[in-house]
A and B are shown apart, each in its own frame.
Chain A
Amino acid sequence: MSTEPDPASTEAAQSALEEVAQEWMARSGVVSVEVARRRDGDVPTGEVGIRVTVTNKLAPDDVPADELFPESLGDIPVDVVEGRPPEPQLG
């Protein structure tokens, strides 16, 4: 599968993310939100989705209902992954 998503998919995901980015970034443990290539395991695919990076991914049952991320925004899939906060790369 191509890893170059089509621009229309990216634009649709950008519009969907714009509506929720500020509110999602305010949730506890959220490192970043972005429009990203989805992954099949560790390998990027050509599909576009919204990626939410959190410091500690919990099972859905352990997340308060008002902080649980949806599986999709309309047709746009939402993936929640774990990751550390980035840092400025000074020497």
Chain B
Amino acid sequence: MILSNWHVLAGASAARAGEPIVQPGSIDGGTETVATLTRMRLDSRMDAAVATLNGVRSHTRDILGLGTVSGMEAAHLGMQVQKSGRTTAITEGVVDGVSMSVNINYGDPGVVSFTNQIRIVPLPPWPAVDTEVSQGGDSGSIWLNKANNKAIGLHFAGENDPTPSAENAICNPIEAVANELNFSFLPVPCKPKPYMPYFDICERFPWICRQFDFGPFRPRLPVPDPRFSPVDTPPGGGLRGPAGGLQSASESTMSSAVHADGDCGCGGAIDERELAELIAMYLEARRR
């Protein structure tokens, strides 16, 4: 999956799950669809969305220049953090405000009143001189605790004030985002789903249907479809573009590849003897 902001992956009130996600973003000249919009949320807690990769592009779980996210934790005042973004690349900061309420104008959906947000300012020396902790295009970056590479926030907003002492970035607490959008930065244990998806056994194994003399009866048994491949755990965050840099999704940063329960196919193979036994059990159950 791809994690970024609602205003990056969705971007309009009319956006619906299933819409194509191109990478690099259209403003950066991208045209190739790499994912489809899956889940999104723009409310008082978060500006966030996830998209499901379609497999046309290889990916890594590492964030460009920062490595693998080691988990999640809550931010606290004074915590030193870093992010890797599409515009300002790697920048370092320190958590300067928490439990923040702030109104932000989104244009199309209007003003959103956020609560419990996190403010980040540049690392000392302070105030920052000619330092941008973030700029337009960095939305969707993940702020990591420098000490342990745990994610603390999903970057979504900042100021456009040229005054050095005003430089700051704002992010959503990452744990709320992960809970709401159902993803993890760590590999999710694969849970077998033997009943997903269904397929017609007589289409795949016609000799079995002939053997049991099904006639016009064509049962649809809960058997995993062998054409449905399990999703492998990616070897390592962000999609990498042709130049090796972290590229944008719509116009900003697709932070990293994340995992969700729904990523696990786990259909697995089934041999024909097991299938015959399954059918016999099924027919026996029908006779009772």
Residues of A contacting B104 with CB < 8 Å? 85-88
> A78 near B: Cβ within 8 Å?
no
Total interface residues on B, CB under 8 Å, equals 56
Contact A10/B98 with A37-B77, A89-B137, A91-B86 known, Cβ cut-off 8 Å: yes
Contact call B251/A90, Cβ cutoff below 8 A: yes
Task: Provide the bound-state CA to CA distance between A31 and B250, in Å.
Answer: 28
Q: Are A34 and B47 in contact (CB under 8 A)?
A: no
| Residues of chain A with a CB closer than 8 A to B102's CB | 31-32, 34, 85-86
Contacts of A14 in B (CB 8 A): 98-99
How many chain A residues touch B (CB < 8 A): the figure is 35
What is the CA–CA distance of A31 and B98 in the complex, to the nearest angstrom?
Answer: 15
> Is B101 close to A, CB under 8 A?
yes
Interface string of A1-12 (1 = CB under 8 A from B): 011110100100
CB contacts (< 8 Å) of A34 on chain B: these are: 97-102, 117, 119
| Chain A window 45-69, contacts with chain B (Cβ cutoff 8 Å), 1 for yes, 0 for no | 0101001000000000000000000
Residues in A neighbouring B159, C-beta threshold 8 A: 83-84, 86-87
Which of A10, A51, A87 gathers most chain B CB within 10 Å?
A87
Verify B127–A33 contact, CB threshold 8 A. no
List, in ascending order, chain A residues with CB within 8 A of B79's CB: 4
Nearest chain-A residue to B6 (Cβ)? A88
User: What's the least CB distance linking A37 to chain B, in Å?
Assistant: 6
How far apart sit A26 and B138, CA to CA, in the bound complex (Å)? Answer: 29
Report B-chain residues with C-beta under 8 Å of the C-beta of A73. none
Q: Which residues of A contact B136 (CB under 8 A)?
A: 89-91
Q: Judging by beta carbons under 8 Å apart, are A84 and B166 in contact?
A: yes
B35-90 residues at the A interface, CB under 8 angstroms: 47, 76-79, 86-87
| Selected A-B contacts with CB under 8 Å, 15 pairs | A5-B77, A5-B78, A13-B99, A14-B99, A35-B98, A36-B97, A42-B127, A83-B159, A86-B159, A87-B157, A87-B159, A89-B138, A89-B155, A91-B87, A91-B139
Contact status A88-B156, CB under 8 Å: yes
- Rounded to whole Å, the gap between the CB of B34 and the closest CB of chain A is 17
Tell whether A10 pairs with B8 under 8 Å between CB atoms, given A88-B139, A91-B136.
Answer: no
Rank and list the top 4 A-B pairs by shortest CB-CB distance, nearest first.
A91-B137, A4-B78, A91-B251, A34-B100
| A22 to B136 Cα, complex, angstroms | 29
Given A42-B127, A44-B121, A91 and B101 touching (CB < 8 A)?
no
Whether A90 pairs with B160 at a CB distance below 8 angstroms is: no
B105 on interface, CB distance cutoff 8 Å:
yes
- Nearest chain A residue, comparing its CB with the CB of B119: A34
On whether the beta carbons of B161 and A84 are closer than 8 Å, the reply is yes
Taking CB as reference atom, which chain A residue is nearest B169? A89
